[in-house]
A and B are shown apart, each in its own frame.
Chain A
Amino acid sequence: MISTAPTPTIDAAGIVSRVRELAGEAFEGGRVVRGDPVVEISPDAIPELAQALRDDAELRFEQLIDVTAVHWPADVGREFELVYQYRSLSNNLFLRVKARVGDGGSVATLAHTYQSARWLEREVHDLFGIGFEGHPDPRRVLLPEGYEGHPLRKDYPVEGPTFPEDAHRNDLFGNLDPDDFWDDPPAGASGS
C-alpha cells in the first residue's frame, strides 16, 4: 500500500530543453501545450531519441503509453503527424513527441525499445497506412487481413466503402432516394 507519489523532478519547460539536448540536430521545435511538454523531431531520429529518452538518467521515460497519428491532407509531402506519448513513472514526467511523415512513407519501429509499440504501431499502420520498418509483426490488428483502405484518413468515407459481397443489399435498398421519404421536400433540401 502506498499513499504518496513522486513529485515531478523537472517542469515541462525543463523537459523540452533536455530533449532538445538529446535530439541534437533532429530537434524541430518544442513548446508547452496546456501544461504538457510537446516536442517535434525529424522522423529519422525517432528510434534513437526513444532509446535516449528511456536511458537518460535525468528523464527515464520507462513507458511508451500511446502511439497515434493525425492526418493533415492539405500538408502535401508531410501529411501524417505521428504522436508518441512517453511516461516516466519514477520521475512522474509526461512527454509528447511528434514527427511528420509523408503519404506512403514509413518510419523505423520502436518495438525493439518498447514492447508496447508492437500493438500500438500495428494500430496506426492499420488505420492510417503508415509503414513501420523492422516491425516484428507488421499485420493489421483491428481490421481483417485483406481489407482495403485505411479508415482514419480524412479522405475515407465515414459510411464506409461498398463491398462486392454487399451488392445484393444495394440491389434492394441502393436505389432509394432519401427525398422519396418526404411528401413535400423542403426547398433547397439535399441528401447531404
Chain B
Amino acid sequence: MTAETGTASMFGDVEQVSENQMVLNMGPQHPSTHGVMRLLIEVDGETVTKCTPDVGYLHRGVEKLIETHDYRGGITLTDRMDYTAGPSNNMGYLMAIEKLMGMEDEIPLRAKLLRTAVAELSRLASHHIWIGTHALDIGAMSAFLWSLREREKILYLFEQACGARLTTSFMRVGGTGPHDVPESWVENVDAFLDSYTLDELNSLLTGNEIFQSRTRGVGVIPAEQALSYGLTGPPLRGSGIDWDLRKARPYAAYDMIDFEIPVFPEGDVYARYLVRLNEMYQATRIVRQCMEHLRDLPPDAPSNADRPDLVPPDVGRVPFDMEAMINHFKLVMHGVQPPVGEAYFGIEGPKGELGYYFVSDGSGMPYRCHVRSPSFVNLGVMEDAAVGGLIADTVALIGSIDIVLGEVDR
C-alpha cells in the first residue's frame, strides 16, 4: 500500500467534514483502547458526532486454524482469544464439541462442578482486569494495583489446577482430561475465598464522587438499542434486560447452584459497572457452593466420561498395558471424531455470550468452526453509543463495554 492511498483510506471522509468539525484518530495503540484498536472520531468542538471503530490488527485467523487442527489441538487456540478468561473459552469450545457428539448427559458431576468453578474463577479474573483498567482509564490508579493483586491469587489457583496461568488449555472433551486438579486444590480455593475481598474495590469506586460524575448518565445504551445490536452479557443486563444463559439454559452444574443475576436498568457506564461488581460477588458464592458439592462427592468419583474413544487412558498404564497403548495411539493419531452434523453452543462468558458453531464432516478435524465472540458484537454498539458524548466519555464507554481485542479480531 502506498503512502497516498493509505492516507486517503485513513481519512476518507475528510472532505465532507464542515469547518467546525475535526477528525481525530485515536489509536491504534492508545492505551485506553485496551489493545490494538483504532477509533476514527469526528468531533464538533468536544462533542463526538461520528465514531468508527477500526479493528482487525490482531486478526490471526483462529477459525481457519481450528479447521486445520484436530478437535483437541483447537483447545489451545481458544484461550488465546479472550486471554483474560482462558478457562471459560476452553469450556465453551469443549461443551460445543460435546453437544455435537450428543454426549452432554455423560459428563460426570465432578467434571461439571470443576468446570463451573473454574469458569466462575475466570469470570472473576476477567472482571478484575476490567475493573482495574476501567478505573485507570477514568483516572483512579489505586484500583488497578489492588485489583491485579487479587487477580494474582486466582491465576495462582489456575496454575495449581493445570500448570498454566493465562493460556490454561484446561479440560478435555468428556471431562477434565488426564490431569484432574490436585487433592489440595479444594482447600486452596476455600482459603482463597476466605482471604479474598472485593470490599476494598467497592469502597474505592462505588461511592466515589469523581467516579460517579465520570460514569453516571454517560454512554447510555437504551434497552431497544441493546437488543437490536445483539448485546449480551453485562452490557445487556446494564440496560435492564434480565437475560443470562446460566439461568435461561443452565449448563454444566449451574442448575444445582443458588445464585442471582444482577440487572440494572439505567443503561449507562455506571450501571454496567454495578452489574459486573455484583456479578463478582455472585461468582464467589458460586465457587464456594461448587467446593461444597465437590467435598460431598465420594473420593473415587470419576472426572471423565466412560468413553475410551474420547478420553485418553491413564498415563501410567500406557507403557505396560497393550490396550491402553492402542487406545492412546488411536486418540493421538485420529483424535475425537464426531458424527456428521452441526451444533451451536453458547456459554455465558465474562464478556457476554461466547458461542461456538461447529460443522462436522465425520473426520477428525472440524469442517467449520465459527466463534461468536461477545467482544466483537458488543463493540459494534460504539458506532451509535459514542455519538453525542464527549471524547473523554468515549474512553469511559470503551472500558464499560469491556472488550478484549484478541477476541474481537480472533
Q: With A114-B230, A152-B63 as given contacts, are A65 and B355 in contact (CB-CB < 8 Å)?
A: yes
User: With an 8 A cutoff between CB atoms, is A125 at the interface?
Assistant: no
Q: How large is the interface on A (under 10, 10 to 19, 20 to 34, 35 or more residues)?
A: 35 or more
- Contact code string A150-192 (vs B, CB < 8 Å = 1, else 0): 0110001010000000000000000000000000000000000
**Which of A19-27, A41-49, A139-147 interfaces with chain B?**
A139-147
- The total of chain B residues at the interface (CB under 8 A) is 55
Report Cα–Cα, A152/B371, bound state, in Å.
Answer: 13
The CA-CA distance from A156 to B68 in the complex, in Å, is 12
Q: Hey, what's the 0/1 contact readout for B342-363 against A, CB within 8 Å counting as 1? A: 1110100000010101010000
Q: Is the beta-carbon distance between B383 and A142 smaller than 8 angstroms?
A: no
Asked whether any CB of chain B lies closer than 8 Å to the CB of A83, the reply is: yes
Q: Please measure, in the bound complex, the distance between the C-alpha atom of A120 and the C-alpha atom of B379, giving whole angstroms.
A: 11
**Which residue in B61, B228, B381 is a CB contact (below 8 Å) of A114?**
B228
With the chains together, A83 CA to B64 CA distance in Å? 17
Of the A-B pairs whose beta carbons lie under 8 Å apart in the complex, a sample of 29, sorted by A's number, is A1-B278, A2-B263, A3-B247, A3-B259, A3-B260, A5-B248, A6-B248, A33-B343, A34-B102, A34-B342, A63-B227, A65-B355, A66-B372, A68-B357, A68-B372, A70-B359, A70-B368, A85-B355, A85-B357, A89-B227, A89-B243, A92-B249, A114-B230, A115-B225, A118-B383, A119-B376, A120-B377, A151-B64, A156-B64
Asked if B178 lies at the interface with its beta carbon under 8 angstroms from chain A, I say: no
Please name all residues of chain B whose beta carbon is closer than 8 Å to the beta carbon of A3 when the two chains form the complex.
Answer: 247, 259-261
Instruction: Return the chain B residue nearest A126 by Cβ.
Output: B56
Q: How far is the CB of A155 from chain B (nearest CB, A)?
A: 12
User: Residue A123 at the B interface, CB < 8 A?
Assistant: yes
Not counting A119-B380, A151-B61, a sample of 18 additional A-B residue pairs whose C-beta atoms are within 8 angstroms of each other reads A2-B247, A3-B259, A5-B247, A34-B99, A62-B227, A64-B230, A66-B357, A66-B370, A68-B370, A89-B227, A114-B228, A116-B377, A116-B380, A123-B376, A127-B63, A141-B56, A144-B1, A158-B64
B37 shortest CB reach to chain A, Å? 12
**Binary CB contact string for chain B from 43 to 65 against chain A (1 if under 8 A, 0 otherwise):** 00000000000011001010111
Interface pair A92/B248, CB less than 8 Å apart: yes
Cα-based distance from A65 to B228 in the complex (angstroms): 10
Specify which chain B residues have a CB less than 8 angstroms from the CB of A152 in the assembled complex: 63-64
Q: Distance in Å from the Cβ of B259 to the closest Cβ of chain A?
A: 8
A144 to B38, CA, bound (A): 13
Q: Are A2 and B242 in contact (CB under 8 A)?
A: yes
Q: Which chain B residues border A89 with CB–CB below 8 Å?
A: 227, 241, 243
CB distance from A73 to the nearest CB of B (A): 12
User: From residue A91, how far is it (CB to closest CB) to chain B in Å?
Assistant: 10
